[in-house]
Structure 1
Amino acid sequence: MAKVTPFIWFPEGAKEAAEYYVSLFDDGRILWVQNFPTSGAMDPVVYTLAFELGGTEYYAINGGPAFKPTMAYSMFIEVDTQAEIDRLWDALLKDGGEPSQCGWLTDRWGLSWQVVPTQLWEFYASDDPEAVNRTVAAMLTMGKLDLPALQAAFDG
């Protein structure tokens, strides 16, 4: 059976980023680190590593400046409470991240994340198109998603 694993290219700081990400999730962990061999008195440099978040394995590389992460690929986090939205949103913006719209943000390493309440899918799956439209309209006004406000919009 084939295995598909996301592989994230960081210009630099892959290990620092991965260590930070795994600190945010109860089940997060570094799986392995491969150092790039160096000669002389230099310390080995981290080249690639693997980490796990939410049961998904990721590979990361310190690949240099040729490529940078973009919003075309994002890490999608579903959480159950506003407190979890707040905690993860604030943590991922810490030390230089940039907020965006509709639950999207870019962290200090340039990786994009979406922090979304699990209830959003229930709202979208509703048979009431007006409730869905109200929810989407409310979401489009938000940076960090506000679950009580989304629920209120859905309820009308």
Structure 2
Amino acid sequence: MTTLDPETLERLRRQVPLRLDRRGQFFFEDDPVTHPGVRALFLRGLDCTPAGEPSLRVGEQWCYLQVEDCLLRVLRVTRTGDGTPRLHLDDGRDLPLDPDTLWEEPGQGLRCTVPAQHSGRALSVRFTNTALADLAPWLDDGDPVALRLGDRRLPVPAHPPSA
């Protein structure tokens, strides 16, 4: 087996013409990736490099990924046993909402982050319209909008929490 030098491997990883559009559809060059099994595999393999660049891992191999918006989408929000919101993601996971990661991108809607399945690094997540409707019982209208969890009222910032 031939081992590639790190520079060649990096160049090859950057040349993979894989893109994730705003709606969560994968494209290889201009062709949509339509096979449900491949799509599910790709969603489970989404990650970020230590430098924060979007990447896609399949087995032990990975490449960089062009991303038009967020890496994942919240498809639904349900109530947990303790009354807090639980996110149902398009990668198949169900995770509790971490309110410290929730923010409203001006003109674009609500976002949060969840840990990547492989590395645990933060992945960007966009709420779909259905998920926003599901989350509405926890939101207080106002300026700013706030997330209500029990007796706590947490204002939703208009910038990423790390900014």
Determine if the TM-score, normalized by the shorter chain, exceeds 0.5: no
Judging by fraction of residues, say which structure has more strand: 2
- Structure of higher CA gyration radius: 1
Higher helix fraction (1 or 2): 1
